Amino acid sequence: MFRQLRRLCGHIVAGFIPNKYMAHHVKHLIEYGILKKIKENKQLQSKEQKGKFKYDLAIVAIMKNEGPYLKEWIEFHKLVGVQKFYLYDNESDDNTRQILDAYIKDGTVDYTFFPGQKMQLPAYNDCIEKHKNETKWLAVIDLDEYIVPTKEDSILSLLNEQNDKVAQIIIPWVIFGSNGHENKPDGLVLESYTKRARHSWLYKAIINPRLVFSMGCHEHNVAGRTVSMLKSKIRIHHYHCKSWQEYKQKAARGDAWGGMDAGQKKYQRECFNRHDLNDIVDTTALRFVEKLKGK
Where would I find the H helices in the chain?
A: 2-14, 20-32, 34-48, 67-79, 96-105, 120-131, 156-159, 189-192, 244-253, 259-266, 269-275, 289-293
Please list the residues that pair with 268 across neighbouring strands.
none
Per-residue pLDDT band at 65 (split at 50, 70, 90): very high
Give me the chain's average pLDDT, please: 85
The pLDDT of residue 219: 83
161: CB partners within 8 A, 6+ apart: none
At residue 200, the 3 state secondary structure works out as: coil
The pLDDT of residue 221: 85
Is residue 283 within 8 Å of 174, Cβ to Cβ? no
Is residue 63 within 8 Å of 38, Cβ to Cβ? no
Is residue 172 over pLDDT 70?
yes
The whole-model pTM stands at 0.83
Question: How large a percentage of the chain has pLDDT more than 90?
Answer: 61
Hey, what domains does the chain have and what are their CATH numbers? 33-293 (3.90.550)
Please list the residues that pair with 231 across neighbouring strands.
none
Question: How many other CB atoms are there within 10 angstroms of residue 43's CB atom?
Answer: 11
Is residue 175 over pLDDT 90?
yes
The pLDDT of residue 123: 95
CA distances (Å), 12 to each of 16, 35, 119, 196, in order?
Answer: 7, 20, 21, 43
Is residue 49 over pLDDT 50?
no
